[in-house]
Structure 1
Amino acid sequence: MNALIITGGESPPAKFLSALALSADLVLAADSGFDTALAAGIDPGLVVGDFDSLSDRGLLYGLPAARVLGYSRDKDETDTEIAIREARKRGATALAIAGGGGGRLDHLVAILRLFERGDPPREWHTQRESSFFLAAGAMAGFSAAAGSLVSVFPLGGEICEGMESRGLRWPLEGLVWKRGDFGVSNRSLGPTFELRAGSTPLLVMLPLGGELLA
């Protein structure tokens, strides 16, 4: 079951966001992500959060009570974390996050840290980038126009090694990254490229619209 979580911060354009929503079995909005959803003509199945950044709480009044889960501002989770938990409770096995770009740096870093957990989101789309999780040892193809920027961040572990790539200007074979190392501003040589994660999972960042190929 695929779930889309629309959260606050900079989001993809409405057309892109609507396409994500159409491909999802469940759409959730976290706090001001409800503003973003409404602006894109999306009607979320569930709206969660403390609503401290929602433009107008009155927007919630027309929704059935079962579709709104309100929380105190004094809590140990971000609104995005709550949305993820609720999506999992409803059977979601693949999560996409839209939003979270710009705005507060702590919230952006918090979303990044979600990809280091045992059940990370599958993808994350902001105003200009699409990011994808690649499990340790897994190989996947990606679509990106020739010359597109490709950045790769290892997730967890003291050493990241054993990576492989096809179709990148600077291959990843033979690289040994210590904690804190990463690779930014690589380039795709063609419309597609392949990556194999090594000893740690990877977060692969592409320009918005780049895709993880099945």
Structure 2
Amino acid sequence: MARFAILLGGDLTVTPRLSRQIDGARVIAADSGIRHAAALGVVPELWTGDFDSVDDGMRAAHARVPVELFPREKDQTDGEIAVDAALKRGATEILLVGAFGGARADHAFLHLTAGIRLAENGTDCLLTSGNQEGVPLLSGERKFDYDDRTMFSILPFSDLGGLTLAGAKWPLCARTVPFGSSLTLSNEVAGELAVRLESGRAMLVAHPVSSFRM
């Protein structure tokens, strides 16, 4: 299995969990995502994008990282270019690091949809900011290692059929959830969290190190 971490320009908090997740992964930085490299203790094998968010200090600090420069007027985001580069290098698992937050809500939303597309195409995907994680959900069952009381939500990206939640404060059994419903927001882990979905697509967003409550 070839695991790649894509450094994106969103928020990042380095946690022991995140450090374990990226351990041994090959790293590609997308534009200003290079700023996370030092905090994570990694050296990217490629730095790609149009560099419209890169300053002279970043260039100097990472002068030895190979660069693939793209024009500003292009039909892909820097993050998508980095993901494509990982796939061309044989990635079977992709961590989108810095996928949440930042100044561009549209980019953060695109990262969610990109994660689902990767999963649909057979590439395992995890989105993370350290404080938040996103895992695409397609038909089938997945189990998670979150501690009790970890807050999580399931965001439907279509109508969901046969959604079952076990190991949750508010469990569900073969429930239909319409697209846009808030039914599956702000749940909590209570035991071993398992999610089963018969049809549809969704994103599980969890807060593994946060005490945040809605």
Which region of structure 1 is more displaced relative to structure 2, 196-205 or 110-119?
Answer: 110-119
Q: CA offset at residue 15 of structure 1?
A: 5.0
Q: Which residue of 1 aligns with 2:5?
A: 4
Matches within 5 A, 1:61-210: 62-63=63-64, 67-103=66-102, 104-117=104-117, 118-119=120-121, 122-136=125-139, 138-156=140-158, 159-182=159-182, 183-190=184-191, 192-208=192-208
Q: CA offset at residue 48 of structure 1?
A: 0.7
Q: Which residue of 2 aligns with 1:13?
A: 14
* Paired residue total: 203
Alpha-carbon distance change, 14 to 176 in structure 1, aligned in 2, over 3 angstroms: closer
CA distance in 2 between counterparts of 1:8 and 1:101 reads: 9
For the aligned residue pairs, the C-alpha RMSD in angstroms reads: 2.2
TM-score scaled by length of structure 2: 0.85
Alpha-carbon distance change, 193 to 14 in structure 1, aligned in 2, over 3 angstroms: closer
Question: Is the contact made by 2:126 and 2:136 (CA closer than 8 Å) also made in structure 1?
Answer: yes
Question: Is the contact made by 1:18 and 1:41 (CA closer than 8 Å) also made in structure 2?
Answer: no
Instruction: Give CA-to-partner distance per residue, 1:34-63, whole Å, 9 cap, x none.
Output: 111123321011111111112335337732
Runs of 4+ in 1 over 4 A off after TM superposition: 14-17
Question: Is the contact made by 1:115 and 1:155 (CA closer than 8 Å) also made in structure 2?
Answer: no
